Structures are given as structure tokens and as C-alpha cells.
Amino acid sequence: MTIEHRNDYKNNFEGKFIFLSNSNDSTYLMTIKIGKSLKDATISDHKKNWLIKFDMDFEYQHLEDLNNLTNSKLYTGVSSVSRKSYKNAVEDFKFERDTINNETIVHLKRYKNSKRKKIISDHYYFFGKKSNVYDTKKNSIKNYLNAKYNLDLSAFNLEKAYHLEDGKLAIKSEEIYNESIDFNFNFKID
């Protein structure tokens, strides 16, 4: 379970995201969005291309509250949002260790090709020593940076991520809490 605070300036959303993924089958993902004007809960299967949406007409306090989700609707043939892959993509990597705040800041910028004109993605990652946030995912950015750039972040955890589009901040997310849990969620499709 990952809880993060997210500001999505593109879609005008500010609130809390809760991600629950199945450790045995990573194709399943439950996403809960709680904002000022939006409460949304979905389960998606990226292999079978289906999505289940729930009505969330209660205040979420604890994980057991998910059993109060109602009005489940199954949508089939839903293609998951996937990033376009570029054969000749090139990546610029910069990092800086901030000894005053005891954090590491990583800047990753991907380009369509070696000409470095078309930017595919532009991200800043902030790694710190927050104790209630730790790496629970095998394919995390922390493991990617270690494998590709030999950047040892074993003593650090991802705390914030900034996604830029056209040089402007589009999405800002801050990891609040990460935990491995055991929870069974039962529901019926209406």
C-alpha cells in the first residue's frame, strides 16, 4: 500500500492517492483518489484490459472502509495507458547530494533520439531518509537508478517526484506512507 499526496496541475486535482497492488499478480491495481470534489475507487487489470469502478460515498479512514464501496461497474476492453516506447531514446542523468537537508536529488530527462530536440519525459526525484516511506516495489525508480547508473540509494527512500511538461510543473507527488499489508477485499459486480 502506497499513500501519496498529489497535485495534478494538468487535470486540476489536489488530494490523496492510495495504491494497493497484489504482490502475487502485479497486473491488478486498486487506486483510490480522495480530493476536495472527487472520491474515486477503481480496480484495473492491465493484462485483461478491464476496469471496475466503485461509488465511494463515505469518508475513508481505514483500509477496512473499502468494504463499504458500492455500485461496482465492470468496463471491458479498456486499454491501459502505456507509454510509447522509442527505439532510439536517449536519457540525460544528473544527480546532486544535498548534505544540509540530507537528500539526493535526481534529474532524468528522456529524449526521442540523440539529437535531443523532442523531450519524452522530464522528472525530478527527491530521495531522503524519511522512515515511514520505504521501497516495496521490485521495479521502482530507486532500483532502476542503481542498475543503470550505479547510484547507491540504499540508505535513501523516494519522498517526492516532480513531472514536468514543456518546462512547467505538471504533477507533483509526495510519498506519505508505504507499507506491505495483507488485506482481502471482497465485492460483487452489480
Whether the pLDDT of residue 8 is over 90: the answer is: yes
Whether the pLDDT of residue 139 is over 70: the answer is: no
Here the cell at position 109 is 530527462
The pLDDT score that the predictor gives to residue 190 is 67
- The answer to whether 170 touches 163, Cβ cutoff 8 Å, is yes
**H or E segment and range at residue 42:** strand 39-45
Lowest mean pLDDT among 31-35, 80-84, 113-117, 129-133: 80-84
- The answer to whether 160 touches 125, Cβ cutoff 8 Å, is yes
What's the predicted TM-score (pTM) here? Answer: 0.83
Instruction: Give the model's confidence band at 135: pLDDT under 50 very low, under 70 low, under 90 confident, else very high.
Output: low
- 12's CB contacts (< 8 A; 6+ apart) are none
Instruction: Give the model's confidence band at 14: pLDDT under 50 very low, under 70 low, under 90 confident, else very high.
Output: very high
* Distance, CA of 39 to CA of 59 (rounded, Å): 9
* Distance, CA of 79 to CA of 184 (rounded, Å): 26
Whether the pLDDT of residue 7 is over 90: the answer is: yes
